[in-house]
Amino acid sequence: MIMVSEVISMKDVKKHSPLKASVEPKMKNGIKVLVIEDEKALVDALVYNLDREGYDVTVAHDGQDGLRKAQAIPDIILLDIMLPGINGIDILRELRGNEKTKAIPVIVVSAKSEETDQVVGFSMGADDYVTKPFSVKILLQRIKALQRRADVSVEEGASELIQHKQVKVDIVRHRAFVLDEELDLTPTEFRLLECLLRSPGRAFSRQHLMDSAIGDGAIVLERTIDVHIKTLRKKLGSMDMIETVRGLGYRFKE
């Protein structure tokens, strides 16, 4: 995983533009991506590239339509923040608050580069975040990383229950409990908890946690992990046993 804070310049976007590429389009991979975005040029570039990579792409040009199309449960949603009608943050809140849509991985794609916006996105349950302008290549990597994570959880589907003290994670059913009360976690929070809970007492670096929760190759701000941990701790409430390891990362209390 690479930690960077710089924004990919428009030059890179042009450089990576595939319009001249001569590589054959890939076979359909059956993965459904919903793009909720109102910028036509960006939508066109995304549809073109995702389609070439074999994704099954659906587009919504405003918030209302996005929420409606999310009901078809795509495998991944690319979500813009500044949208006509309902904005991206409200869409995210709505998706996470709905039993049917709460586990769909969401990558927020936003022109707002302020770190505070990233923090808001994550605390609202985004799984990843890219800032415009970005290179399509990078975005495709992030989609793949998220998708790999989702696949792994399905494949590991043997009945697996991890428990430490009062905190329990059911890998197969993708559910987490504290004192037998179910937690409402985002996919990223779930994987962080799973990783920490597998080895109570072990100190994990931020990088290790990001690799486990977001996937190798994800490009993230160092602070991203802190934001996910913060929201996870809040949800664990009085049973929060996550400890900060100074200068390194986090561990789950033994």
What x/- string results for residues 76 through 115 when contact with Ca ion is judged by CB under 5 A? ----x-x---------------------------------
Q: How far from chain centre, in Å, is Cα 138?
A: 14
List of residues 6+ apart from 62 with CB closer than 8 A: 38, 83, 84, 85, 86
DSSP, residue by residue, 120-131: HHHHTT-SEEEE
- Residue corresponding to tokens 């450089």: 15
Q: Which is nearer to Ca ion, 63 or 125 (CB)?
A: 63
Stretch that binds Ca ion, among 13-21, 72-80, 102-110, 196-204 (CB under 5 A): 72-80
Helix axes 115-123, 88-96, angle to 10 degrees: 20
45 binds Ca ion (CB under 5 A): no
Min separation Cβ 83 and Ca ion, Å: 5
Q: Which is nearer to Ca ion, 86 or 103 (CB)?
A: 86
- Count interface residues toward Ca ion (CB under 5 A): 3
State the burial class of residue 177 (Cβ atoms within 10 Å of its Cβ: 0-12, 13-18, 19+).
Answer: middle
Specify the DSSP element, H or E, that contains 250. Answer: strand 249-252
| d(C-alpha 118, C-alpha 160), whole Å | 33
Stretch that binds Ca ion, among 37-45, 96-104, 192-200, 240-248 (CB under 5 A): 37-45
DSSP, residue by residue, 142-204: HHHHHHHHHHHHHHT-S--EEEETTEEEETTTTEEEETTEEE---HHHHHHHHHHHHSTT-EE
Q: Which is nearer to Ca ion, 38 or 128 (CB)?
A: 38
Min separation Cβ 10 and Ca ion, Å: 16
Q: Which is nearer to Ca ion, 82 or 239 (CB)?
A: 82
> CB nearest Ca ion: which residue?
82
Q: Using CB under 5 A, which of 8, 35, 38, 132 touches Ca ion?
A: 38
Min separation Cβ 234 and Ca ion, Å: 29
Min separation Cβ 66 and Ca ion, Å: 11
Q: Which is nearer to Ca ion, 42 or 140 (CB)?
A: 42
Min separation Cβ 60 and Ca ion, Å: 12
| d(C-alpha 7, C-alpha 9), whole Å | 6
Q: Which is nearer to Ca ion, 38 or 65 (CB)?
A: 38
Min separation Cβ 61 and Ca ion, Å: 10
Min separation Cβ 128 and Ca ion, Å: 18
- Give CA separation, 71 vs 34, 99, 105, 164, in Å: 11, 11, 14, 35
| Contact (CB, 8 A) for 176 and 169 | yes
Residue type, 175: R
Binding site for Ca ion (CB under 5 A): 38, 80, 82
